[in-house]
């Protein structure tokens, strides 16, 4: 996030966005948040305004995730204007003190046109998003061939439609007509100066492509649909991209919390009314006195923000201090808090103790109150507020009038204030408004849904399930969809999860049938072909998943489908559904995916990458003909908006950066959201696995863990040589000796391996042979574990990395040979047991012995351990708040909920 330089403007881009807001606080919020969301989609954004307004915008952006704002640039043009004080006694409450700032924006017409011309010369398309009230500024933009305009309305769709209805009276549904027939007059809403300014904008309206509204279809879908119908076949579009405020707030008891929130912590649930009239309204002394008396007489708890309206430049001059009746603040101190400074409005509205909001009904305040589930006592002052108040009270039925618009010239008596507050906070009618508000709040939260479509294989299950859990804990409904057998596995993995973190995680299984053939340890290719029938069975899910997404799409603003690369065929119909997006989950490393790009095109890469890539092993023998045929079906139908990787930028960030440079189109995004395993383990002393108890008795870093995952079966010869080598090494070990999984892990018996006679007895002092399930992560994370002999499946690699354990790499199939190269030559945290070109040879006991001794008891092994520990610490820092992985997850959630 930066001020834009000439060089930056002159860079080549595919699409760039220029945002031209009205220089007013109420219009700033939607414009800056929309800029933020677009820039997080990897599109350069230029936020352009007067110097004073850009300063306000930058102050709002402080603390934003820098990963989401690298493409957000601020450009300010210095203009001068008068800054008159607000007039609380004016007959029209419109904040005329802001009009000089509005008029100053007219000076931006030429510089904005010059900027768009310059950007157009280096970009395929320039998109200009302008406030309705900066239409005059952008009137020359449509003359630029590769530029197009979109109008940002920072008001409600209901308001905009109300002007259409006033003029033409088109037929509308009864529920809309009942509200529209009560429309208040526009008299007194605006000052003459503002009306003159608005006429200039209307006269200069540019032929745009569409309207963007600061609302949600959940709230105002009826009125957006009515506008869509009236546009007919013109192609003019309407987008509801709000709310532009967060809909989920976390109330952690952090240090430096605002004092108003600490005060709310001590109040009962839904007991406090929040009283605030925004940044553009000044009350008269009489209005302040009556409001004060009414709040006191109501006997309800309250927070009252009592401050003067902002001027055109909020950084200039002093403000009036409003006077209260003598002794007032002392009398109400037990149940009232009077604030004369800035208030964290959204956090106050979202606090469980807040039960009502007395508001001027500016649209930003309405949206924040709606999304926090708080009913409103509507006291409109000017502009769009009278019609917003009607929509809140009569349309949504989430509020009560303090005064109707025709009473605007009267001072509201204390008795009315008292009655309204009591009704809202302590009456059956108020409770009903609260129920309605809460229902809309939940509907807005549910307006984005996730569907996860994993490949039905153990190695792919882990990342898909953990990603589902994390998204559901972000309060996004998630549907985990697969075959019955696979969902059963996922359920078993999820047993014991904190239900508070997974209330939005739903499992949907579709019964399909397939054979579950036994494993073949003597096959010439080690790829687990016994799983291919399960893979092929997933192709039966195409129709039921498309039906599910269609159904969810009919009740949601957006449906996000996250699918495994190897279920691309299943979701091929999803992009045809208008409000859906697909993202591909790669359960492999970013390094592996880049190797395919590099082999095909040989783009230039840094020397440290080139030295590894030049050693890439052949793909011969990695997979079976059946899986190659299955994979080709997936490649032919890929249609995704971005990639998700089961890795961390702390591990293979270099390859993610290289992938992003080569992405086509350029706005295609890549997120590294791993590791999908915990990086800090608390090894509880209760109900511990016997292998962990065995490790408790061993010295630190003295045990090598030997396990080849759930998809590999060793031959009898391989088992014998491995057994002899482990024994001869004289090192401590845990060896998981079990057959590979079948397509349905719940079916049939498994082969029991035979060891040399008397073996387990001979090694019992320093070796543990396990023939059942092993808690791999806990074993790797135990202080006594110092090495890992592994097939180098990516899940195993990333678990070992995040626990700081070096690897003896013995790849078997699939991505494993290239993962092994990355571990040994890229990260330098491992040693090869056998090179891939010797895959058909039985590894002799002497080699096993030598590798184990090197890893566990040599200076070379110590160096690998040191590097593995450095990576472990880097990964831990990455997942902490503020770390790169944490920011990537925030970036992804922000992108899909934009």
List residues with catalytic annotation: 460, 564
Which among 73, 85, 60 is positioned nearest to 8, based on CA atoms?
73
User: Going by C-beta distance under 8 Å and a sequence separation of 6 or more, which residues neighbour residue 732?
Assistant: 698, 699, 702, 703, 704, 766, 767, 784
Distance CA 230, CA 161 (A): 10
Q: How far is CA 854 from CA 586, 723, 833, 841, in A?
A: 33, 17, 11, 21
Sequence-distant (≥ 6) Cβ neighbours of residue 426 within 8 angstroms: 300
Tokens 């007032």, located at residue? 328
Using alpha carbons, list the distances in angstroms from residue 526 to 284, 516, 721. 83, 17, 18
In angstroms, rounded to a whole number, what is the distance separating the alpha carbons of residues 53 and 105? Answer: 10
Phi-psi region for residue 278, left (φ > 0), alpha (ψ -120 to 50) or beta? left
Q: CB-based contacts of 606: which residues, under 8 Å, 6+ apart?
A: 654
Residue 318: partners with Cβ closer than 8 Å, 6 or more residues away = none
C-alpha dihedral sign at 293, 294, 297, 302: negative
Q: List CB contacts of 794: < 8 A, sequence separation 6 or more.
A: 459, 587, 588, 589, 592, 646, 647, 815, 819
Q: For residue 573, give both structure tokens.
A: 């119909």
CA 214, CA 788: separation in Å to the nearest integer?
A: 54
How is residue 697 annotated by DSSP?
T
* Helix residue ranges, H only, 665-793: 690-696, 716-729, 759-762, 776-780
Q: Is 605 helix (H, G, I), strand (E, B) or coil?
A: coil
Instruction: Kindly write down the DSSP assignment for every residue of 278-323, as one continuous string.
Output: -SS----HHHHHHHHHHHHHHT-EEEEE--PPP-SSTTSS--PPPP
Residue whose tokens read 């569907």: 451
388-419 as b/e: b if 16+ CB within 10 A = bbbbbbebbebbbbbbebeebeeebebebbbb
Cβ-contact 483, 538 below 8 angstroms: yes
Q: How far is CA 369 from CA 104, 179, 215, 376, 397, in A?
A: 32, 20, 13, 7, 13
Pairwise CA distance, residues 22 & 802, whole Å: 49
Q: Which residues pair with 507 in a beta bridge?
A: 480
Distance CA 29, CA 39 (A): 15
Nearest of 873, 886, 890, 880 to residue 651 by alpha carbon: 873
- Pull the structure tokens for residue 723: 């057994």
- Taking the C-alpha atoms of residue 192 and residue 92, their distance in angstroms, rounded to an integer, is 10
Angle between helices 884-896 and 859-879 (to 10 degrees): 40
- Residues whose CB is less than 8 angstroms from the CB of residue 384 and which lie 6 or more positions away in sequence, other chains included: 155, 156, 159, 189, 362, 363
Q: Is 642 helix (H, G, I), strand (E, B) or coil?
A: strand
Pairing of strands 478-483, 399-401: unpaired
Reduced to 3 states (helix: H, G, I; strand: E, B; else coil), residue 454 is coil
Instruction: Count the neighbouring beta carbons within 10 Å of the beta carbon of residue 64.
Output: 17
The span from the CA of 239 to the CA of 217, in Å, is 9
């Amino acid at each position: 996030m930066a001020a834009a330089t000439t060089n930056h403007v002159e860079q080549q881009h595919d699409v760039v966005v220029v945002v031209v807001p009205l220089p007013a606080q109420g219009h700033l919020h939607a414009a800056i948040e929309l800029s933020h969301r677009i820039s997080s989609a990897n599109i350069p954004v230029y936020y352009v305004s007067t110097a004073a307004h850009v300063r306000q915008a930058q102050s709002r952006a402080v603390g934003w995730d820098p990963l989401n704002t690298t493409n957000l640039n601020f450009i300010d043009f210095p203009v001068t204007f008068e800054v008159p004080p607000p007039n609380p006694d004016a007959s029209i409450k419109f904040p005329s003190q802001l009009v000089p700032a509005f008029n100053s924006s007219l000076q931006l017409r030429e510089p904005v046109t010059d900027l768009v011309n310059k950007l157009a010369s280096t970009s395929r398309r320039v998109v200009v998003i302008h406030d309705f009230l900066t239409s005059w500024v952008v009137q020359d933009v449509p003359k630029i061939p590769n530029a197009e305009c979109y109008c940002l309305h920072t008001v409600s769709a209901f308001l905009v439609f109300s002007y259409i209805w006033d003029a033409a009276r088109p037929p509308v549904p009864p529920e809309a007509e009942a509200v529209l027939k009560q429309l208040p007059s526009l008299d007194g809403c605006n000052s003459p100066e503002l009306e003159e300014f608005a006429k200039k904008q209307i006269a200069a309206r540019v032929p745009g492509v569409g309207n963007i509204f600061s609302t949600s279809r959940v709230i105002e879908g009826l009125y957006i649909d009515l506008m869509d119908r009236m546009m007919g076949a013109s192609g003019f579009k309407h987008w509801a991209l709000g709310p532009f405020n967060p809909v989920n707030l976390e109330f952690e008891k952090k240090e430096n919390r605002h004092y108003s929130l600490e005060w709310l912590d001590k109040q009962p649930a839904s007991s406090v009314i929040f009283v605030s009239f925004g940044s553009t309204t000044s009350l008269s002394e009489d209005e302040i006195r009556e409001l004060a008396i009414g709040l006191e007489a109501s006997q309800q708890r309250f927070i009252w923000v009592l401050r003067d309206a902002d001027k055109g430049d909020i950084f200039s001059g002093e403000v009036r201090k409003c006077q209260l009746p003598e002794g007032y603040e002392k009398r109400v101190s037990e149940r009232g808090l009077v604030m004369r400074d800035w208030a964290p409005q959204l956090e106050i509205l979202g606090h469980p103790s807040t039960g009502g909001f007395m508001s001027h009904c500016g649209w930003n305040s309405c949206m924040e109150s709606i999304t926090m589930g708080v009913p409103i006592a509507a006291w409109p002052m000017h502009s769009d507020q009278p019609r917003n108040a009607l929509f809140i009270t009569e349309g949504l039925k989430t509020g009560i009038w303090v005064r109707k618009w025709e009473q605007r010239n009267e001072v509201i008596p204390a008795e009315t204030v008292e009655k309204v507050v009591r009704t809202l906070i302590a009456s059956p009618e108020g409770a009903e408004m609260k129920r309605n508000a809460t229902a809309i709040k939940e509907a807005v939260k549910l307006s984005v849904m996730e569907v996860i479509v994993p490949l039905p294989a153990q190695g792919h299950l882990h990342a898909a399930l953990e990603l589902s859990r994390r998204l559901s804990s972000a309060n996004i409904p998630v549907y985990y969809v697969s075959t019955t057998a696979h969902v059963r596995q996922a359920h078993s993995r999820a047993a014991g999860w904190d239900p508070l973190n997974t209330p939005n995680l739903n499992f949907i299984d579709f019964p399909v049938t397939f054979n579950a053939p036994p494993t073949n340890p003597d096959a010439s290719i080690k790829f687990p072909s016994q799983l291919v029938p399960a893979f092929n069975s997933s192709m039966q899910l195409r129709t039921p998943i498309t039906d599910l997404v269609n159904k969810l799409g009919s009740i949601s603003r957006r449906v996000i489908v996250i699918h495994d690369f190897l279920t691309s065929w299943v979701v091929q119909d999803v992009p045809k559904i208008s409000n859906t997006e697909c993202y591909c989950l790669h359960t492999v490393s970013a390094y592996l995916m880049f190797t395919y790009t590099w082999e095909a095109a040989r783009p230039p890469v840094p020397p440290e990458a080139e030295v590894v890539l030049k050693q890439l092993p052949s793909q011969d023998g990695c997979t079976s003909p059946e899986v190659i045929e299955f994979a080709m079906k997936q490649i032919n139908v890929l249609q995704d908006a971005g990639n998700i990787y089961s890795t961390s930028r702390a591990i293979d960030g270099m390859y993610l950066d290289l992938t992003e440079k080569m992405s086509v189109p350029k706005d295609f995004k890549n997120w590294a959201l791993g590791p999908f395993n915990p990086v800090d383990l608390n090894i509880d002393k209760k109900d511990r696995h016997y292998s962990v108890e065995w490790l408790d008795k061993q010295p630190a870093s003295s045990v090598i863990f030997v396990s080849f995952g759930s998809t590999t079966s060793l031959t009898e010869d391989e088992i014998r040589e491995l057994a002899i080598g482990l024994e001869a090494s004289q090192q401590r070990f845990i060896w998981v000796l079990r057959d590979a999984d079948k397509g349905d892990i719940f079916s049939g018996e498994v082969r029991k391996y035979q060891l040399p006679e008397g073996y387990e007895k001979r090694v019992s002092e320093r070796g543990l042979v396990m023939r059942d399930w092993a808690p791999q992560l806990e074993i790797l994370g135990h202080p006594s574990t110092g090495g890992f002999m592994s097939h180098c499946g990516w899940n195993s690699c990333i678990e070992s990395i995040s626990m700081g354990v070096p690897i003896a790499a013995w790849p078997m199939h699939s991505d494993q040979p290239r993962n092994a190269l990355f571990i040994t030559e890229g990260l330098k945290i491992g040693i090869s047991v056998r090179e891939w070109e010797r895959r058909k040879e039985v590894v002799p006991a002497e080699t096993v012995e030598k590798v184990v001794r090197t890893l566990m008891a040599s200076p070379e092994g110590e160096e690998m351990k040191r590097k593995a520990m450095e990576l472990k610490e880097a990964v831990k820092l990455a997942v902490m708040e503020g770390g790169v992985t944490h920011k990537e997850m925030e970036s992804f959630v922000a992108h899909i909920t934009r």
